[in-house]
Structures are given as C-alpha cells and as structure tokens.
Amino acid sequence: MSQELNLFEVSPRDLFPYRRGNVGVDYVHRFDSGRPGPHLLVNALTHGNEFCGMVAATHLLDNEVRPGIGTLTVSFANVQAYESFDAAQPYDSRQLVHNLNRIWSDDWLEGPRDSPELSRARALRPVVAAADHILDIHSTSQPAAPFWVYPDSGGNAQAAQAIGRPAIHLVMPDGMTTGTPLIQHGRHGSDDATGVALVVECGQHFLKASADLAVDVALDFLGHFGLIERQPGTPVTQRRFELLETPVIKTGAMRFVRPLVGMETFGKGELIATDGPDEIRSPCEGCTVFMPAKQAIVGRELAYLTRPL
C-alpha cells in the first residue's frame, strides 16, 4: 500500500439500505414537517469518491434529523460512481463518464447525449428544482483548507457568512465557464435568484476531519434556515476570493511549476503551469490557486485561478 493510501480515515459503506426513498427517485428522502417554512436540499456524492457528503447524509438519516418547520430532502447523487470505488485507484470513482457537476444545463439534460451521470441528473432534476435552498457537499483531492463555492447572486454570500464555517469563500461572479453545476440549475442559476445554493468543499476526500466538517455544516445549514435548533458557531475571520479563470487541461503533459495543494499565490504574469506548448500564467497580482488538478487528465479543470476580494 502506498503512503498516500494511508490517508484513508473514511471508507465507503453500503448505501443499499438507503436506496428506497419516498419521492419516486432512488436514494432521495424527503421529510415534510407539515408547518410552513423553506424546502432545503442536502445533497451528497455529486462525485463518487467524496465520502464526506455520504457521512453527512447518512448522519441526518441515521439520527432521524427532522425539520421542525418546512421540508428537508436528503439525496445521494452519483451512487453508481460511488459503488465503483477501488482503493488502489481512489480518484477514478469521481465519475464514470461525465462530471455530474457540470451537466445541469438544458443543453445537456434535454439533449441526445447519455451516460450514467446524465441519466441520474435527469432523474434528480425535479428534486433539485423543488428546493428553495441547496447545500451540495464536496471534498478535494488535495489536503487544502475547506471553503465555500457559490455564485455571486441571491442570498448566497449572506448565508455562507452567517453560517460561518468554513472561513474561506470562492465567489463565482459569472458562474462556471466549464459547464453548469448543480447549484446553478434552473432558478438557482438566474441573476435574480432568491434562494441560496452553496457548495461546501470540506477538505481532502478521505480524512475524518472532512467528514466531521460536512456533518457540522449540514446541521448549521439546517439551523440557519430554522429547520432545527442549532446554536451558532464561533465567529471566524472570513476571506473571500473571486474566480477569474478555470483553464482546462489540454495534454497529458500538463505540469505545475511546483507541487500545489491549493491556496498558493502567484505574482502577475508568473508561470503556474505548462500544458504542452501552452503556458498558464497568473492573471493578476496575488493570484490564489484553488483545487489544482492532482492528475493531468485531458478535459478536466487544471485549477481555479482567483484574486482576493
């Protein structure tokens, strides 16, 4: 076993007991309090090897967390990819064919293409559309500090700031240039969106600390909207960054100039990576790198290049 595989502090568990939901879609569970209030969706496993979301979702279900007002929906998204997990190749189960977090546009969902991810997104489409507020739980391949990701619309910034943790915010003023994520599906992707739709990146995929944070943030999210009683956390100093560019890997020869895990900074014009004949350089002074690719896979995102706000 390689040194890297010693990082497995969280392992997959059998999700078959959660398959039978109650909304006509496998692995989706909805609880209506019968009292007026918002409809919240907590979504896990948009990517199959991001175990922290699985831990948070099963925590809510196993502990019978139920809303005092409004409605709570808990979903496991890409279960097929999750079930393909192989500890010898732990990053391969991120997806089977398509990135489930880039195909939430009408072009993809209503088009002729097909894949396990597209079939699942089409099944989940009414589930996502029904939610007033969404928390999509993710993790990162590298052991970077946890952070929020959200479009610069609606009440996203205010909700993330009020929830408090994690302390780092990645703001997408123009959404994603590489596709449409789940949190920008339908009404949540409009400039006048009134709901909240957040991604929380909880830390490295296989660490217990990431799973613990995912549980805490899920409960904080429910508490923020009043579905459960939840004491506010300790205030933290928050740092916000604006997404500028998301270059896509063009060749298997892509290399960063030095090992990156995320949150490294570069001066304007400084070389960040080479990708075949292309040079990826910092677009601004103090450019901060988020989510650098762990492997040079053509078509995947090389990194998120940001500037501090």
- 28-32 vs 133-140, strand pairing mode: unpaired
Residue 115 has pLDDT above 80, yes or no: yes
Taking a C-beta distance cutoff of 8 angstroms, is the pair 128, 41 a contact?
Answer: yes
Q: Answer left, alpha or beta for residue 167, where phi above 0 means left and psi between -120 and 50 means alpha.
A: alpha
Mean pLDDT of 258-267: 96
Residue 2 has pLDDT above 60, yes or no: no
Mean pLDDT of 105-132: 97
* Range list for CATH 2.40.50.630 in the chain: 243-308
In order of 33, 45, 215, 256, the CA distances from 94 in angstroms are 34, 9, 21, 22
pLDDT tens for residues 225-262?
999 998 877 778 899 999 999 999 999 999 999 999 99
Nearest to 136 by CA among 152, 162, 156: 156
Mean pLDDT of 84-104: 96
Mean pLDDT of 8-34: 96
Taking a C-beta distance cutoff of 8 angstroms, is the pair 181, 138 a contact?
Answer: no
**What number of other Cβ atoms are within 10 A of residue 100's Cβ?**
27
Within 13 A of 91's CA, how many CA atoms are on the CB side? 13
Band of the pLDDT at 32, cuts 50, 70, 90?
Answer: very high
Helix, strand, coil percentages for the chain (3-state, nearest 5): 25, 25, 50
| CA atoms of 26 and 16, how far apart (whole Å) | 10
Which CATH architecture group holds 243-308?
Answer: Beta Barrel (2.40)
Residue 192 has pLDDT above 90, yes or no: no
pLDDT tens for residues 196-222?
999 999 999 999 999 999 999 999 999
Rg over CA atoms, the chain: 19
- Residue-level pLDDT at 191: 80
Is this model's pTM higher than 0.75 or not? yes
Joined tokens for residue 29: 């569970």
- Residue-level pLDDT at 6: 54
| CA atoms of 84 and 92, how far apart (whole Å) | 8
* Range list for CATH 3.40.630.10 in the chain: 4-224
Annotate 148-193 with three-state secondary structure.
EEEECCCCHHHHHHHHCCCCEEEEECCCCCCCECHHHCHHHHCCCC
Residue 140 phi, psi dihedral angles, 5° rounding: -120, 155
Joined tokens for residue 217: 């943030």
Mean pLDDT of 22-31: 97
**What number of other Cβ atoms are within 10 A of residue 237's Cβ?**
5
Q: Which position has the higher pLDDT, 5 or 232?
A: 232
Average pLDDT value for the chain: 94
Residue 53 has pLDDT above 90, yes or no: yes
CATH topology for the 4-224 domain: Aminopeptidase (3.40.630)
H-type helices in 48-155, by residue range? 51-62, 79-83, 106-109, 116-130
